[in-house]
Amino acid sequence: MREIEAGKITDVISYLCKEANFSLPDDVLSAIKTAKLREESPMGKEVLSLILENAQVAEREKIPLCQDTGCVIVFLELGQEVIIKGDIYRVIDEGVRRGYEEGYLRKSMVKDTCFSRENTGDNTPAIVHMEIVPGDALKIIVMPKGSGSENMSRLSMLKPAEGVEGIIDFVVETVEIAGPNSCPPLIVGVGIGGSFEMAAYLAKKALLRKVQGKNPSIEVANLERELLERINHLGIGPQGFGGRITALAVHVETFPTHMASLPVAVNLNCYAARRKGAIL
Amino acid sequence: MCQPIRLSPPLSDEDIENLRIGDRALITGAIYTARDAAHGRLISSLREGRELPIDLEGQVIYYVGPTPARPGQIIGTAGPTTSSRMDPYAPKLLALGLKGMIGKGKRSQEVKEALKKYKAIYFAPLGGAAAPVLISKTIKKCKVVAYEDLGTEAIHEFEVEDFPVIVVNDIYGGDLYEEGRRKYQILKSS
């Protein structure tokens, strides 16, 4: 068994919160550069240039590339041979608290969601997803998720008879309803199958994949390609001003489901698709 | 590309009549920030018959919740938030003389009608929310004028210089998002 000091996790989370907010992952930047070459709308091209310039200045000056520094979603892959000394949820929140203070990041979390909606003042609590995996390592990914795109995300319990066509229509309709609100060009995470909550989790996890990556199943990869094409036919374009590039990628993750069910969740991410990871 | 139009609040009816969707403008002068919680408070004040903390006549509201400034800086990052969340409140503020709103995303039919009725404009920053860091550079001064306890959601007065915007909805019923999309959508052939 391998022991990891909980305090070490605080340091890493704090670092990841800051770095994730200051710079876009390389795969996202490169997808935006490719999109700029393919975009036909002059305004769309201009928007994509501005996104790249904005990202450069943010990274250079260590300022958040978007004012919505998000809700902190933490994905942990905990090796089953690892022992964490301390309360893991508490040390993660401590990392968020420190990172958001030190990085001059906006604190957006409010407590008492239904009533007072008072700001928690430190951007906690983080939303933590943990999977137990073989091995003796702890993998941490921090995803600061803005609400412009999160708010336009949807889930539907389709009927099995609606099949692939039903899935495609629901995903495309979700992007169409979102229009300019979710800051296109988007990365579209789709979770199909499992149960109600599993589909939503898969859709979020799909956003972690590198933009150029494909689902290993040929059938699912074909569905991803078809969805991307249909979405880009909508004409919404960068920031909704019209154009060919509404989405940079569609990532689909699937899971077996009940014979009576066909859950489909669509989690939208704006162009500021931030994530940063570390392995302890 | 035409030269951008220069605007300085307070805006007049004539300023508004001259603007058409797709026009680019540079705003110089004072604008106010307000988002969800601040709008909630403004509307409660009106409902209770109390005076508003700012005079809206001819003014421009920017839907933004900036990040904190680093030491020595005026402000952090200050890009637009989704405007539709302010749709339920906007017509009431337009009736009080508000002339401009800056945000991102579509507006409701009610807001578009109110723009015509009260002669006002809906802008997005140039490039939508693509360049929040670059927008922040046009903010030269920043002070809280109301609801300080709301933190980032407090009403701030920004002194801006050449803040670049584009007209999304004008008083003639134009909608830049709809028009832009129409040009590029590929309809399914039946």
In a 3-state reduction of DSSP, which class is residue A236?
coil
Residue A166 CA to residue A262 CA, distance in Å, equals: 10
Check if B156 is active-site: no
Residue A142 tokens read as 């921090």
pLDDT for A250 equals 98
Please indicate whether, in this complex, the C-beta atoms of A106 and B180 are within 8 angstroms of each other.
no
Q: Which residue, among B171, B182, B186, has the nearest Cα to B23 in the 3D structure?
A: B171
User: Do the bridges between strand A82-85 and strand A154-158 make them parallel or antiparallel, or are there none, so unpaired?
Assistant: unpaired
B189 at interface of A, judged by CB pairs closer than 8 A = no
pLDDT in tens, B112-158: 999 999 999 999 999 999 999 999 999 999 999 999 999 999 999 99
Task: Indicate which of A54, A117, A150 best probes the interface with B, i.e. most B CBs within 10 Å of its own CB.
Answer: A54
Alpha carbon of B151: minimum distance to chain A alpha carbons (Å): 9
Residue of B nearest to A229 (CA): B186
Please indicate whether, in this complex, the C-beta atoms of A105 and B68 are within 8 angstroms of each other.
yes
Please indicate whether, in this complex, the C-beta atoms of A54 and B131 are within 8 angstroms of each other.
yes
pLDDT for B2 equals 72
Please indicate whether, in this complex, the C-beta atoms of B180 and A43 are within 8 angstroms of each other.
yes
A111: pLDDT strictly greater than 60: yes
Average pLDDT over residues B12-16: 97
Alpha carbon of A256: minimum distance to chain B alpha carbons (Å): 31
- Partners of B131 on chain A (C-beta within 8 Å) are 50-51, 53-54
pLDDT for B17 equals 98
pLDDT in tens, A158-200: 999 999 999 999 999 999 999 999 999 999 999 999 999 999 9
Task: Indicate which of B23, B63, B82 best probes the interface with A, i.e. most A CBs within 10 Å of its own CB.
Answer: B82
Residue A76 CA to residue A47 CA, distance in Å, equals: 34
Q: How deeply is B169 buried, as exposed, middle or buried, from its count of CB atoms within 10 A (0-12, 13-18, 19+)?
A: buried
Alpha carbon of B59: minimum distance to chain A alpha carbons (Å): 23
- Partners of B76 on chain A (C-beta within 8 Å) are 63-64, 67, 104, 106
Please indicate whether, in this complex, the C-beta atoms of A239 and B69 are within 8 angstroms of each other.
no
pLDDT in tens, B71-99: 999 999 999 999 999 999 999 999 999 99
Q: What is the ipTM of this complex?
A: 0.95
Are the C-beta atoms of residues A214 and A15 closer than 8 Å to each other?
no
- Partners of A68 on chain B (C-beta within 8 Å) are 65, 79, 81
Tell me the pLDDT of chain A averaged across its residues. Answer: 97
Provide the residue type at A192 as one letter. I
Residue B61 CA to residue B55 CA, distance in Å, equals: 11
Alpha carbon of B134: minimum distance to chain A alpha carbons (Å): 6
pLDDT for A276 equals 98
* DSSP characters over A117-139: --B-SS-PPPEEEEEEESSS-EE
Rg (CA), chain A: 19
Please indicate whether, in this complex, the C-beta atoms of B67 and A63 are within 8 angstroms of each other.
yes
Of B133, B177, B182, the CB nearest to A57: B133
B190: pLDDT strictly greater than 60: no
Residue A73 CA to residue A75 CA, distance in Å, equals: 7
pLDDT for B1 equals 55
Average pLDDT over residues A261-267: 98
B189 — pLDDT class (breaks 50, 70, 90): low
Please indicate whether, in this complex, the C-beta atoms of A67 and B105 are within 8 angstroms of each other.
no
pLDDT in tens, A36-86: 999 999 999 999 999 999 999 999 999 999 999 999 999 999 999 999 999
Residue A259 CA to residue A261 CA, distance in Å, equals: 6
Please indicate whether, in this complex, the C-beta atoms of A271 and B152 are within 8 angstroms of each other.
no
B166: pLDDT strictly greater than 60: yes
